């Protein structure tokens, strides 16, 4: 997991060949003016999801993991809290991994919580279990799905 300012995205280009394209895009557009929906940057390898999501109480947020994608999540309208745990520490799976949706949920509790503010991002790798959308009310946010090239 990484938390940083969007202006520092270039520091992470070496972690995945698609990160440069992702951060260059994020820093070249007015993020607040993007409409809800999917924006393809490189077909299914790299795309942006703009969403209006309902935030939930900490105890209602489930940890999730992905195999095929790395998430770069960016709150736009207000701060967002994320729960985090190391994936290898999880043992209370809700259901087996859903390969078609690239997701698996767990009932384990996060070991830490992190608040990310607008103008910043959080990156979750396949080894990071994360519980997004913790807070109150609605949030407009961006999720960049980056193909995990190190499977």
Digits of tens for pLDDT over the chain (151 positions)?
999 999 999 999 999 999 999 999 999 999 999 999 999 999 999 999 999 999 999 999 999 999 999 999 999 999 999 999 999 999 999 999 999 999 999 999 999 999 999 999 999 999 999 999 999 999 999 999 999 987 5
Determine how β-strand 69-75 pairs with β-strand 120-124. Answer: antiparallel
> Residue 120 has what pLDDT?
98
Chain position carrying tokens 């929906």? 37
Distance of alpha carbon 114 from alpha carbon 81, whole angstroms: 5
pTM score, two decimals?
0.95
Determine how β-strand 138-147 pairs with β-strand 46-54. Answer: antiparallel
């Amino acid at each position: 997991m990484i938390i940083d300012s969007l202006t520092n995205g270039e520091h992470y280009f070496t972690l995945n060949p698609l990160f440069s394209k992702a951060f260059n895009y994020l820093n070249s557009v007015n993020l607040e003016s993007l409409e809800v929906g999917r924006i393809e940057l490189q077909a299914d390898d790299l795309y942006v999801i703009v969403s209006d999501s309902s935030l939930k109480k900490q105890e209602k947020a489930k940890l999730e993991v992905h195999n095929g994608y790395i998430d770069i999540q960016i709150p736009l309208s207000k701060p967002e809290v994320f729960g985090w745990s190391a994936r290898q520490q999880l043992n209370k799976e809700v259901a087996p991994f859903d390969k078609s949706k690239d997701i698996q949920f767990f009932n384990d509790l996060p070991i830490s919580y992190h608040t990310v503010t607008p103008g910043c991002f959080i990156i979750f790798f396949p080894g990071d279990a994360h519980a997004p959308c913790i807070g109150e009310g609605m949030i407009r946010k961006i999720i960049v799905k980056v193909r995990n090239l190190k499977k």
